[in-house]
Amino acid sequence: MRHFIIAILLLGVVLLAACNLTGGAVNDNDLCYDLEEGLARDNCFAEKLRCSKVASEVIRDSCVVELAKKKIDLEVCNLIVSEKTKGYCQEQLALITNNQEICKDISDQYWKDNCNAQLAMKSNQDVFCSLVSDNPQREDCYQTIAFATNNHLLCEFLTEKDSCLFQIAGKIADVQICDQITVPLNKDACRLKVAKVSNDKEKCKLIKISAVRETCEEYFEEN
């Protein structure tokens, strides 16, 4: 009986040691403290989202972003020191919750623009594109939605308006869209494209420039 009790006690010691080695009874945070102070320890705490224990302000701010995303809690973003990183945090929450109202409260202009542009393209809401202050990003926003929805009216907001109209007209085989192209040669090239896509020889008659019209007619004679 005495040997049996001793055996049980020894087994308990062995199991306790094994548990400690595998981390079952060891606090994960203690493992981070075992690391040398600095980047390694900060990254360890950040990976576990123990942001308050991170010494580096930059890493801590990044950690808070991930914590906010996990909790889906906008208020967590207010714990961030850097305004730019806070803006990124708010933008991420706006995308996760599909809430454009959050974009309005972003003070960093880059992330405010990105917030409005990303939400616009995500939901094909072109009205949000108008809130983007950066010209190239605003045009990219309009163009992306124009091509996604085949809305040729959005081409009006683009510097490369004719190119936008040409692509959409060809894609949906709508020759009337070609009429809105400003350059005569491009307009007829658009009509040629639509004639081919729709396999409609009659549309060749709409082409004004004789050389382009002949190209259109030859295409159908050969095919």
Q: Look up residue 7 and give its two tokens.
A: 């055996």
Q: Look up residue 193 and give its two tokens.
A: 């494209």
> pTM for the whole thing?
0.80
What whole-number distance in Å separates Cα of residue 163 and Cα of residue 35?
A: 58
Say whether 105 sits in a helix, a strand or coil. coil
Q: Which of 187, 144, 157 is nearest to 169 (CA)?
A: 187
All structural domains of the chain with their residue ranges:
153-223
> Average pLDDT over the chain, rounded to whole?
89
Residue 29 pLDDT class (50, 70, 90 cuts): low
Residue 27 pLDDT class (50, 70, 90 cuts): low
